[in-house]
Structure 1
Amino acid sequence: MGGVQDSSPPAFSGNCPCLSGEQYADCCGRFHRGGSAAPTAEQLMRSRYSAFVLRDAAYLLRTWHPDTRPGELELDPATEWRRLDIVSTSRGGPLDSEGTVEFKAHFRHDGERGVHHETSRFLRVDRRWYYFDEAVS
């Protein structure tokens, strides 16, 4: 795959994949469409999870800090993301410049269940949140 070809988000309706309880269009969909930016690190984390569910690599790259962003991103179509659990957040509010979100993303890959457990670091630059990297303890 030579980079990301299509920058338009995939069509999706119904409840948001991030499990906020809101409709996708009113939740992560507004961030995916570019109509607004996630105001907190947790909301960016949720929108990035939803982008994995919908295989929206363009959004993932757009919200990845340029210092750590890969040149391209290929998403595995055999991975089916099932549920997001936010374990904890630290800072990451509208007035913060950094924050962390610990989460568990449940998935199935080739029929096997798995959990991706990570504490992600986020930075806010020019009033926009970006995923920076995985915090290593």
Structure 2
Amino acid sequence: MPSRNLLFINGPNLNLLGTREPHIYGSTTLPDVEAAAKQQAASLSISLATFQSNHEGAIVDRIQAARDEGVDAIVINPGAFTHTSVAIRDALLGVGIPYVELHVSNVHAREEWRRHSYFTDKAVAMVCGMGGSRVHGGY
């Protein structure tokens, strides 16, 4: 049975989409991405909640709250926390909610240090390099 209650989390600096290094991240803003994702989810009768924070602890708190809310799956772009956050990884594993790791840019074609992720090995899937507007649904 497909998930019906999804949580879409965006980490640090993703609030700057549309203005931050548009040659890498594109010109689509986070509100545009979230609106398109919500529209796509609604067309599939899926509830989609969104959350963005530049603070690691706030993301951990949001992930932990997701279990009590009955979230079926999480889509997360951990941003720079991809390469540093054992705390967010542990929160995802601790709640037992399946998750998809998402990145706007192709992290594998960038700096060597961006190629390491604390999330990929436990993710249901990992999507990267599709930009902010090239994938149907906005992300």
More strand by share: 1
More helix by share: 2
TM-score tier by shorter-chain length is: under 0.3
TM-score (norm 1): 0.26
